[in-house]
Structure 1
């Protein structure tokens, strides 16, 4: 009786703890990027927080920065002296009253290039974290390479209709060299309805085949489904089919950069197709989905799986923050670009309205992706 009552709590903790671990690492590195570059630029930092809301516990360092853990563990922030809020929206009236001798070290009085560097440092730190994680994994455990061979071709599938035969080895798609079966999946999933030129090796002869993936609902491997492009080919996986290719330190970093860029490219391709009406927005996910995936990865892939998830999520967070939306780092950079062109910043009222619009957009996105997550998990 007690065990059955504790099962829901145990299951919940199995998702919450891994998710908090993943999010905390990614957020900490992002904010640490802002913090370190701010310190390097001589800008005073008032607070470094993991989470939002009421402080749970914290301490002051020798430079006066308050390091703290806050109640709502969905993000974090670095607040500079002179900020009105955690979005770095300046209090124009308060700043105007700051004596000239105290302006040194305040973020909003720093030269434009320093402010831009501080803002860009957060996303940059996320990309560097992902590259470092991928490089470490490829240098130690190796990068999994699966021979890109079509062992099975589903009847009536786009692959069969195009003329792909069992045993064909796919060596290129649209001129892009293919080394692993996973690379086929990356391209095909976001190419529903788009004709692809697939080059296969058939008994030593290279043949170009035109095939158009079709959209189907398939399992995402985490208890849910997703609608993606499929060709209709699969592998008969055996222990000998996966080779873990290890790299030296320099080559591993290069592979880490390529893996990071592949995630960026895949994300931007999806967003582009979304605006063109060729993808659906119900594939977007949020924190609930992150929790679910973290729990599944922790139970099946262990520490290595979670580390890999940290790298993937770090790229996503870094890229998201570069979007030109006020409230996000990209929005700040847009304001700075305008300031550089005009020779003076936008008015305080224009910036305030911009941040209000940005906050509304971010809030709507959060509600939308959370709704998507709930629908996927509940199977509605």
Structure 2
């Protein structure tokens, strides 16, 4: 819980600060007086004022921030400060100030993705583990053991890249081309036929719906660590124990063990255990624990022995400084396009609006990504930064993109829209964004606490 809270505060704090600093820095460069720079809303926890009269604050509710500038439309401005008022600045300067926030998010994403690529990593090749009979993939000739090298002509190195390439085709009809290798350089191209693929599906499953199941690493059901005060400790399980069967059913690997235990909260299970070559019988009653979507699951409190992928399944990915920067820019562009395509498909009904996520999902994923390590957390930060930049550029009054539309119209007409028209747009924008936020939180609650 503390890890999730820490990760959430770091995520929101960093992204909001960069966004608002973009507005702040360009406003200062354009000679606009900044009255207040706040991270968060509500009562300030910390605040101070600089020599230029700008008040800085960190407030209680970390779900946003704002930069308040001198503006005649909001308060009376003395004649000596009129040249510092935002509304008195040329329209191009106002455009620059407003656009600076989202641009800061895109720049941050480039830096973060460049760090990810610069650090280098070892990834698992996208090896197909199973292709069910009569699936779309099977009809296209894909087989277990093949390594996917290209999707729609684009090179892929791991399952994450394959998934991103597939996600871009959700809701579409036509053909999907997958290039795969098997053995020594034997390359084949496979054409998968899509018919409104995964259209309107909540939580779409690109792999399962096509019939492409990634190869899984078989982890033996050998206990490495027994947690304190756990059901396993109370039952007498020890490090090094190999679980052979549960209630007479043979256990093939760790995944099978986990599935049986999860589905048996509070139910006594009889385990056949190999301990130092001797077969013993142990009765264990898994603890009941809250799982995803409000479901109660069983928990025994053990950790498996670490198992590494064989070398032939691994790829070392390394880039120099310049190469990492180029990859960071390309990744930021790709994720921006993917986000826009997803929004467009959602508006067209090709993607279910039930996939909209809110702050609870961000908190959950932030906590999970931290537990996976530095690179996954940096990747998550970069992705959310891209999303924040794209969403703020949407032409909706109250967002930066809405203000940009007003200023572009002013640039074209030679005069601004009337105050009444701008205020009407603002009210509609607030209503729309407010409704989306409520819907996103409802989706979060449904996804993580209630279930569907």
TM range (shorter): 0.7 to 0.9
1:170–1:129 Cα change, 3 Å:
same
SS of the aligned residue for 1:324 comes to coil
Find the counterpart in structure 1 of residue 330 from structure 2.
Answer: 258
Is the deviation greater in 338-347 or in 150-159?
A: 150-159
Find the counterpart in structure 2 of residue 348 from structure 1.
Answer: 419
1:110–1:80 Cα change, 3 Å:
same
Aligned 1:83-232 pairs, distance under 5 A:
90-91=73-74, 94=75, 99=79, 101-140=80-119, 142-192=120-170, 194=173, 195-202=175-182, 204-212=185-193, 215=198, 226-230=203-207, 231-232=210-211
Q: CA offset at residue 268 of structure 1?
A: 1.8
Normalised by the length of structure 2, the TM-score is: 0.72
Residue 36 of structure 1: which of 14, 25, 33 is its match? 25
Is the deviation greater in 19-28 or in 143-152?
A: 143-152
Deviations 1:129-181 (A, max 9, x none): 111111122212x1454323324323332211221122333332222233333
SS of the aligned residue for 1:258 comes to helix
Q: CA offset at residue 190 of structure 1?
A: 4.1
Residue 365 of structure 2: which of 273, 289, 293 is its match? 293
Q: CA offset at residue 191 of structure 1?
A: 2.5
Cα contact 1:170–1:199 (8 A) shared by 2: yes
- C-alpha separation in 1, matches of 2:390 and 2:105: 9
Q: CA offset at residue 18 of structure 1?
A: 1.8
Q: CA offset at residue 64 of structure 1?
A: 0.7
Check if 1:71 corresponds to 2:60.
yes
- C-alpha separation in 1, matches of 2:101 and 2:382: 15
Cα contact 2:199–2:349 (8 A) shared by 1: no
- C-alpha separation in 1, matches of 2:50 and 2:44: 16
1:38–1:143 Cα change, 3 Å:
farther
SS of the aligned residue for 2:83 comes to coil
Q: CA offset at residue 375 of structure 1?
A: 0.3
Residue 314 of structure 2: which of 242, 246, 262 is its match? 242
Find the counterpart in structure 2 of residue 309 from structure 1.
Answer: 380
Residue 42 of structure 2: which of 53, 56, 80 is its match? 53
- C-alpha separation in 2, matches of 1:133 and 1:28: 15
Deviations 1:161-220 (A, max 9, x none): 2211223333322222333332221122343453312233355454332214654999xx
- C-alpha separation in 2, matches of 1:46 and 1:187: 45
More helix as a share of residues: 1
Deviations 1:346-371 (A, max 9, x none): 11111111111111111011001000
Cα contact 2:151–2:179 (8 A) shared by 1: yes
Normalised by the length of structure 1, the TM-score is: 0.85
Cα contact 1:151–1:167 (8 A) shared by 2: yes
Is the deviation greater in 229-238 or in 253-262?
A: 229-238
Find the counterpart in structure 2 of residue 221 from structure 1.
Answer: none
Cα contact 2:200–2:352 (8 A) shared by 1: no
Q: CA offset at residue 50 of structure 1?
A: 0.5
SS of the aligned residue for 1:35 comes to helix
Residue 6 of structure 2: which of 2, 17, 37 is its match? 17
- C-alpha separation in 2, matches of 1:198 and 1:64: 60
Find the counterpart in structure 1 of residue 71 from structure 2.
Answer: 82
- C-alpha separation in 1, matches of 2:365 and 2:132: 29
Cα contact 1:190–1:228 (8 A) shared by 2: no
Unaligned runs of 5+ in 2: 218-308
- C-alpha separation in 2, matches of 1:367 and 1:160: 42
Find the counterpart in structure 2 of residue 282 from structure 1.
Answer: 354
Deviations 1:286-328 (A, max 9, x none): 1111111122223x22444433322111111111100101111
1:190–1:154 Cα change, 3 Å:
farther
1:143–1:264 Cα change, 3 Å:
farther
Find the counterpart in structure 1 of residue 237 from structure 2.
Answer: none
How many residues get paired? 351
